[in-house]
Amino acid sequence: MKVHQKVVSKSKGSDSRSSVPHFDTNASAIKENIIHHLLSFQGRDPERSGAPDICRALSYTMRDILVEKWIETQKTFYAKRKKRVYYLSLEFLIGRSLMNSVINLGIVEDVKQAVADLGYDLTEICENEEDAALGNGGLGRLAACFMDSIATLKIPAYGYGIRYEYGLFNQQLVNGNQVEMPDSWLRYGSSWTFDRPMPIFPVKFYGHVTSEADKQGNYRAKWVDTTDVMALPCDMLIPGYKNDHVINMRLWTARASRELDLSYFGRGDYIGAVESKVSSETISKVLYPPDHNLAGQELRLKQQYFFVAATFQDIMRRFKKKPKSFDMFPERVAVQLNDTHPAIAIPELMRLLLDEEGLGWEKAWDISTKTFAYTNHTLMPEALEKWTVELLGKVLPRHLEIIYEINLRFLEQVAQKFPKNVEMQRHFSIIDEGPPKQIRMAHLAIVGSHSVNGVAELHTNLLKTRIFKEFHELYPGKFNSKTNGITPRRWLLQSNPELADLISTNIGFGWITDLDQLRNLEPLADNAGFRQTWREIKTANKRRLAKYINEHTGISVSPDSMFDVQVKRIHEYKRQLLNGLHLIHLYHHILKQGDEGIAPRTVVFAGKAAPTYWRAKLIIKLICEIGEVVNNDPRVNGRLKVVFLPNYNVSQAEIIMPAADLSEQISTAGTEASGTGNMKFSLNGALTIGTLDGANIEIREEVGEENFFLFGMTAEQAEFERLAPSRTPKQVCENSPEITEVIDSIAKGAFSKGDKQLFKPLVDSLLDPNDQYLLMLDLESYLECQRKVGAAFIDADNWTRMAILNVAGMGKFSTDRTIRQYSEEIWGIPVE
């Protein structure tokens, strides 16, 4: 079978050995290449192949095209000697890659035709692709959106992480209980990854540290008697939008330093022969091993250091290709730490510069701090990562020494600013004296970076004024805000193609790479014909989701009802429980007063709870049991349906977001760093009910206060209520018979088949005067706001107008804007 390709013409003076095959992208050539890959890669008879075979063959075909463009992109990096950005993230929630690649390559129609000629529909083919399970939630999906924008803006950059064999977990619901199953996304391999035979790097663990004086009499440390694990690179290619620019994520796989220790065989210890190999390769097996025990904590620390150490060996390899002074390192290398997970990179770079390159401390530290920038993603003190000194000293003894030295020198600076103030030194210290003694990784990241950014304006202000107030005073100008975003290519152009077509037909295609152009939709909000077409598209998306819901849960829902959606990680601060209380309230209202004047609702939940987070899993159980009662009560007459979709992932989100009418963003004010689900919903025309938390504040500013359903306390009010409560949950109940009835119905077993103990922990948490998430204190405001939502939905024409204005106001929330700010304001790379 002939593969359609032609050799790119070589520029004058070029070496013929560097020529790159050029793959034709017309429909005929794509079809022939699909057939070629069916035969050569899969050993399949094209006449007997099915949709999964075509999906894999088409993926290989797209990868061929991407490789060609990636090679050319890399050549430009080297030719122009550009500064490179290294984005270090323990998660990249990529989802599916096929349709995204087809769209960004700009060959949708040719691919559709090629697939149609083989008897298939492109949408059907793409459904056969497995989601790349390389992340958990918002942090990992943000990293994936960043990669798309970095490629689209032609920034010379790489993503670095781990190629997990198993994702977080596959969630199943059994009688309303979350059950975790292995998520083996690589069981059939991946068409998108390149396993590289080189470079392979050793990564050290354990051992101990010795010291000696070098020829100049300087102290030099040696990390010896270590246990080594090999890091093998695997590349995934990320195309920019219609610009021939392709970057890569380099993901590391752990392998034993030698396949088998044959000395075990001589002693008859056959299990011991493979034990070391299995132990080494566990590092890249599972995303986020449980850390409630010491073994899990040690494995997670090893994961973090493993990918950091391999990455910096790769960075050094690239930097040293042309001899240059290490003074040039920050001018050639920018490293962004996506949260504290990669913060061990700071002592790792210091180790390399001190121990391997022979630099002095002051020069090494100057290079290091100019290289690193740190993104903080949390306002929750318990989520600020710490490692015990004992564990870190055991696994990474040299890094513990370096961290102590960093802390010693840092505290000397603190002492100069706050002389004789021991308490202030204790507050600033990278070492929490405990017990137990712990390394505060966020403190290390702040001290070791030249930039620290929050991910929304409120988040950054709270970092400056509450979480890291003293650091902000010590380092004026270091803290800055970079509001998160989403890529419009994935979250509108790909996931909602009919709406994207309507927008493009009316305002042009420029919005795809310049989302601010969506402002041109504002006049169309008053156009009756445009609103009608908009509603028809929304209804079609709701029919698609209704079909998906029925297939996966057996529940039938009406596309004519309001699709009220809350999909995100299950956590107490995200307050899915507050939503559940409204469901019970609405159920009681329908039973008492009938459905007259009540907008019909389908309330959709999705999200995973951490396996050891029993209270979050109990919230899932309650929501499912509420659904069981409500959905089967004939008195409700279909006016209210409750759905919990299992196994939430990127592909599921691409079906849910375009169908949503109402987006629930109801976290306690001051707890959500930013959120990006709120942006995805708004970009697809859902209205938001939410608190003044995270990016909700900025969304409300952009779309207009009148187009946002606001309830609840501000962050300042919430903080005051925690310190000096104005009322207790019990008093809230005493003042509202309706709320009392809601709480009593849970307590008395109305949603647990009479079992009064099942949900008692949730009832106790709701009535606890020390509830840090303040559910009961926000409940009255939430219920009143939901009444306004219901009334607004009945006026379909005005609701559509509000939805259009929501989309029109979303220009700020493109990751293109976010990445441009990172590049120009943090990394020092101007965007063309």
What is residue 95's DSSP assignment?
Answer: B
For residues 140 and 128, give the distance between their C-alpha atoms in angstroms, rounded to a whole number. 22
What is residue 732's DSSP assignment?
Answer: H
Residue 436: asked if its preceding bond is cis (omega within 30°), the reply is yes
- Which residue matches tokens 């699909």? 34
**Element containing residue 338 per DSSP (H, E):** strand 333-338
For CA atoms 389, 393, 398, 399, the dihedral sign is negative
The amino acid present at 219, given as its one-letter code, is Y
Buried b (16+ CB within 10 A) or exposed e, 57-79: bbbbbbbbbbbbbbeebeeebee
Catalytic (active site) residue 513: no
Q: What are phi and psi of 25, to 5 degrees?
A: -125, 20
- Cβ(492)–Cβ(500) below 8 Å: yes
**Element containing residue 518 per DSSP (H, E):** none
For residues 365 and 604, give the distance between their C-alpha atoms in angstroms, rounded to a whole number. 51
Active site residue: 245, 568, 601, 608, which one?
568
Quick one: which of 289, 286, 317 has its CA closest to 158? Answer: 317
Quick one: which of 492, 494, 513 has its CA closest to 503? Answer: 492
Quick one: which of 782, 196, 242 has its CA closest to 493? Answer: 242
Other beta carbons within 10 angstroms of residue 734's beta carbon come to 12
Which residues are within 8 A (CB) of 345 and not within 5 positions of it... i.e. 6 or more apart?
A: 88, 308, 311, 312, 335, 337, 372
Other beta carbons within 10 angstroms of residue 220's beta carbon come to 14
Structure tokens at 559: 């596309």
Catalytic (active site) residue 568: yes
Structure tokens at 550: 């029925």
Provide the residue count of the chain: 832
Active site residue: 61, 676, 688, 800, which one?
676
For residues 403 and 175, give the distance between their C-alpha atoms in angstroms, rounded to a whole number. 49
> Which burial class, exposed, middle or buried, applies to 256 when counting CB atoms under 10 A from its CB (0-12, 13-18, 19+)?
middle
Active site residue: 386, 478, 482, 680, which one?
680
What is residue 131's DSSP assignment?
Answer: P
- Cβ(453)–Cβ(482) below 8 Å: yes
Classify 670 in phi/psi space as left (phi over 0), alpha (psi -120 to 50) or beta: left
Q: What is the C-alpha end-to-end distance of the chain, expressed in Å? A: 42
Other beta carbons within 10 angstroms of residue 252's beta carbon come to 27
Q: How far is CA 701 from the centre of its chain?
A: 24
Widest pairwise Cα distance in the chain: 89
Active site residue: 141, 245, 351, 377, which one?
377
For residues 615 and 606, give the distance between their C-alpha atoms in angstroms, rounded to a whole number. 16
- Cβ(512)–Cβ(241) below 8 Å: yes
Structure tokens at 182: 């292995």
Which residues are within 8 A (CB) of 791 and not within 5 positions of it... i.e. 6 or more apart?
A: 599
Catalytic (active site) residue 582: no
- Cβ(546)–Cβ(656) below 8 Å: no
Quick one: which of 206, 167, 170, 435 has its CA closest to 301? Answer: 206
Catalytic (active site) residue 569: yes
For residues 683 and 807, give the distance between their C-alpha atoms in angstroms, rounded to a whole number. 5
Tell me if residue 641 falls in helix, strand or coil.
strand
C-alpha distance from residue 737 to each of 139, 590, 744 (Å): 41, 16, 10
Quick one: which of 454, 457, 458, 287 has its CA closest to 377? Answer: 454
Which residues does the annotation mark as catalytic? Answer: 377, 568-569, 574, 676, 680
